Homo-oligomer: A and B are copies of this chain.
Amino acid sequence: MTLKFGLLGAGRIGKVHAKAITGDANARLVAVADAFPAAAQAIADQYGCEIRSIEAIEAAGDIDAVVICTPTDTHADLIERFARAGKAIFCEKPIDLSLDRVKACLKVVRETKATLMVGFNRRFDPHFAAVRAEIDAGTIGTVEMVTITSRDPGAPPVEYIARSGGIFRDMTIHDFDMARFLLGEEVAEVAAMASVLVDPAIGTAGDYDSVQVMLKTATGKQAMISNSRRATYGYDQRIEVHGSKGAVAAENQRPVSIEVASAAGYTRPPLHDFFMTRYTEAYAAEIAGFIAAVAGKTPAHPSGEDGLVALALAEAAMKSVKEGRTVKVSEVLG
């Protein structure tokens, strides 16, 4: 069975998904839509698909599923439209920056029984997935402490940051999802600290560039997250899980793994410097996971609820920084 896709949004991340869809033997890219004709044309040319309007894709009988890669403020509306249109939906994170809007959107998804998957691609990274597999296999016993280090090679433009919803909702949100993925238990409490250390302009825009967060579940399992908007040595993405019988860790990834020895010491090249090269395999596996869920008529993961809870953790972290206290997730999630 081949899943027939419509792609909404032909920007940077849209191209990533177009490549993943066309590279999957169980998928076909039927049509692409974008407000900028040239962007849609580029994908149509490269992969031989049609250009259609969003409305046409919504009404199309030859399209089973959509991938939503449009700007964030259109996500919730599009999810609702395509849920009502009976299409399976893969939506880039976040669903919306407002918790209330996300809740309303997920109500429609539940009512329409639509399949919805949210793009927390890191769960599909083969290295991180292998960490989770070790946990599931019982290798490290009961999970006790998760440590997530996540640092970007460099900060995005300040204009992007101003629209991003802030570092906790834009960047840490991936780590909140990863912490939940690994803890295996809901987070109950959040404490956070935030600084501007990388670029004062980020502070002027009302955001932070360096944050640290602690999470705790009801049974006392712990997680720590460290984020910086800048790492000179590349895209620093590491996770560690400590448990009752041992620990498991996923190391950083490099484009080439050589080592040069000289009088100055032993030097390995820097890490990947871009999320797309770092997570190439994750994007392919993510679409494959979505296809499998649709084919199996099983719930897709990460779900809309996963998107909601990660956003709630971001809100709790923001509240913790503002109020200088540990915040219960129930305070923000209701």
Interface extent on A, as a size class?
35 or more
Q: Select one of B149, B247, B263 contacting A147, CB under 8 A.
A: B149
Q: Is A263 in contact with B233, judged by CB distance below 8 angstroms?
A: yes
Which residues of chain B are near A195, meaning CB under 8 Å?
Answer: 144, 216, 219-222
Which residues of chain B are near A233, meaning CB under 8 Å?
Answer: 246-247, 261-263, 265-266
When each residue 217-238 of chain A gets 1 if its CB lies under 8 Å from chain B and 0 otherwise, what string results?
Answer: 0011110101010111100100
Task: For the complex formed, measure the closest distance between the CB of A220 and the CB atoms of chain B, giving whole angstroms.
Answer: 3
Known: A147-B226, A222-B210. A249 touches B258 (CB 8 A): yes
Task: For the complex formed, measure the closest distance between the CB of A164 and the CB atoms of chain B, giving whole angstroms.
Answer: 20
> When chains A and B are docked, how far (Å) is the Cα of A260 from the Cα of B131?
9
Which residue of B is nearest A250, CB measured?
B258
Query: Is A13 at the interface (CB under 8 A from chain B)?
Result: no
> When chains A and B are docked, how far (Å) is the Cα of A189 from the Cα of B195?
13
When each residue 245-265 of chain A gets 1 if its CB lies under 8 Å from chain B and 0 otherwise, what string results?
Answer: 111111101011111111111
A selection of 10 A-B contacts at a CB cut-off of 8 Å is A139-B260, A139-B262, A144-B210, A193-B216, A195-B221, A210-B222, A232-B246, A264-B270, A265-B270, A266-B270
A: residues with CB less than 8 A from B are 25, 46, 126-127, 130-131, 134, 139-140, 142, 144-145, 147, 149, 151, 189, 191, 193, 195-198, 210-212, 214, 216, 219-222, 224, 226, 228, 230-233, 236, 242, 244-251, 253, 255-270, 324-326
List 18 other contacts, CB 8 Å, given A193-B216, A233-B266, A246-B262: A130-B269, A134-B258, A134-B260, A139-B260, A144-B195, A144-B210, A191-B193, A193-B326, A196-B220, A197-B220, A222-B226, A231-B261, A233-B247, A233-B261, A246-B261, A249-B259, A264-B270, A324-B325
